[in-house]
Structure 1
Amino acid sequence: MQLVVARIGRAHGIKGDVTVEVRTDEPELRLAPGAVLATDPASVGPLTIEAGRVHSGRLLLRFEGVRDRTGAEALRNTLLIADVDPAELPEEEDEYYDHQLMDLDVVTVDGQEVGRITEISHLPSQDLFVVERPDGSEVYVPFVQEIVVEIDIEEQRAVIDPPPGLIDDRAEIASARDAAAGEQASGDQPAADGGETAGGGETDGAGTKRDQG
């Protein structure tokens, strides 16, 4: 299986170094000296990493045969692609590669179908599952232990315990209307002509709140 592990950025200095946008959780493995990587566009590669170092928080790489700034600039925006065994697992327990999580069915702890993971978004603060719902809409699920309570690779399923409002806000509208109807039935007066009725608070799609643990 081929996976994108980095994108080449600007040239750095005059000796052929380039900055890279890392797209792997294991750069020390995928982007180590000696690694041979395919490229997109394919005509640029394959590229062999000669050296790597961190400068001001950014990873810099140098490739065999690239000796000056002109050669480095010619590689800009090239994707670096590694061959990965589909059965390979991360070293740490409870960690997963993106390709293992793609297309997992997402369900809640009470069995409600949410959708299917179509993308994993890696943000500075946390990772997000982009989940496509049966109606074609998308919902974003933070990949944190308090919300994603189980990943079952064999069953191709991710089980979530969503906080109120994360996956469905339609219940909050119904809840607000029920509350307003109850107030009127108990003798409250409706709003005067031209006025606005009061809104309600938010609940999740099941109409109940869940602790995040």
Structure 2
Amino acid sequence: MELVVARIGKAHGLRGEVALDVRTDVPEERFAVGAVLTTVPAERGPLTVTATRVHQGRWLVAFAGSTDRSTAEALRGVELVVETADSEEDDAWYPHELAGLRAELVDGTVVGEVVGLEHLPAHDALVVRETGGQRTLVPFVHAIVPVVDVGGGRVQLTPPGGLLARDAEAVVVDRPEGED
């Protein structure tokens, strides 16, 4: 199975380096000098890492054949993927393992289906298509998603009031007197 380990961001400097939006826990292994990475779209690769460094908390990488800012900028948006097996950790899941899981409340009420995973700055968020068709981002934190049961085909949610679109009808907005 292919796993996205990074998305190439903007060019850095004039010598072909690019910033990476890293999506792996082991960037030092994935982006080691000499590593050959498959790309999406496939016609942009494969890419061979020739140099890596961390600058102000961001991974900067140079690839063979990318020697100036123009060639580096042309790589922007390309995803770097590796072939891997499913996760064996108890509390780690790949996006493909989550997609298709039934999203339900603690009482078993089905609220929708997980259709993806968004990598946001603070934390990841499950993308849930609610039964009414609405797309809702659910923070993928233990307090809101206490159970992920891939084998059972479900995630259990304990959302705060108003998080789900289905709760919108029950939201009461207080308005000062005289305002309509």
How high is the TM-score relative to the length of structure 2? 0.81
Which is greater in Rg? Answer: 1
Q: 2:95 aligns with which of 80, 92, 98?
A: 98
Deviation, structure 1 residue 5: 2.3
Q: How many residues align?
A: 174
2:87–2:93 CA contact under 8 A, matched in 1: no
% identical equivalent positions:
47
For 1:153, which of 150, 153, 159 is the aligned residue?
Answer: 150
Equivalent residue number for residue 201 of structure 1: none
Write out aligned runs for 1:67-86 (5 A): 67-85=67-85
Structure 2 distance, partners of 1:162, 1:13, is 44
Deviation at 1:170, TM superposition (A): 5.3
> Once the 2 structures are TM-superposed, how far is the Cα of residue 60 of structure 1 from its aligned partner?
0.5
Contact 2:9 2:19 in 1 (8 A): yes
Where 2:92 maps in the other structure, the secondary structure is: coil
2:87 maps to a residue whose letter is E
Give the Cα separation in 1 of the matches to 2:128 and 2:88: 23
- For the 8 Å contact 2:52–2:59, the answer to whether it is kept is yes
Q: For the residues of structure 1 that align with 2:82 and 2:66, how far apart are their CA atoms?
A: 20
Report the counterpart of residue 36 of structure 1 in structure 2.
36
**Per the alignment, do residues 76 and 126 of structure 1 end up closer, same or farther by CA in structure 2, a change over 3 Å counting?**
closer
Matched, 1:13 2:13: yes
Task: Mark the CA change 1:159 to 1:44 in structure 2 (over 3 Å): closer, same or farther.
Answer: same
1: CA distance, partners of 2:29 / 2:93: 15
Measured in 2, the distance between the counterparts of 1:43 and 1:170 equals 45
The two structures have a TM-score, normalised by structure 1, of 0.70
Q: Aligned AA for 1:126?
A: H
Q: Secondary structure at the match of 1:114?
A: strand
Gaps of 5+ in 1: 177-194, 198-213
Unpaired runs of at least 5, structure 2: 173-177
Counterpart residue number, 2:117: 120
The structure where strand makes up a greater share of residues is 2
2:167 corresponds to which residue? 169
Q: Aligned to 2:71, what secondary structure does the other structure show?
A: helix
Larger relative contact order (C-alpha < 8 A, sep ≥ 6)? 2
Task: Give the whole-Å Cα distance in 2 for the aligned partners of 1:41 and 1:94.
Answer: 30
Q: Note the C-alpha offset of 1:70.
A: 4.1
